[in-house]
Amino acid sequence: MEEISWQAHEFEYHHKETGWYYLVVIATIVLVALAIWQRNYIFAIFLVVAAAMVLYWGHERPGIVTITVTGEGVRPNQFKFIPMRELLGFAIKESGQHDPEWGSILLRSKHRFSPYVKIPIPRGKVAQARDILLDHLEEFPYDESLIDEVLRWLKF
Question: pLDDT tens across 121-134, in order?
Answer: 998 898 899 999 98
Instruction: Give the pairing type, strands 80-83 and 73-77.
Output: antiparallel
Instruction: Please state which CATH number belongs to domain 3-11+62-153.
Output: 2.30.29.30
Which residues have a Cβ under 8 Å from the Cβ of 94 and sit 6 or more positions away? 103, 123, 126
| Res 98: pLDDT | 62
Asked whether 70 and 61 are in contact (CB, 8 A), the reply is no
| Res 43: pLDDT | 97
pLDDT at 46 over 80: yes
d(CA 33, CA 141): 44
| Whole-number Cα distances in Å, 152 to 46, 82, 84 | 24, 26, 29
Banded pLDDT at 76 (limits 50, 70, 90): confident
DSSP state of 62: P
- Compare 17 and 114 and report the one with higher pLDDT: 17
Query: Quick one: which of 124, 116, 66 has its CA closest to 89?
Result: 116
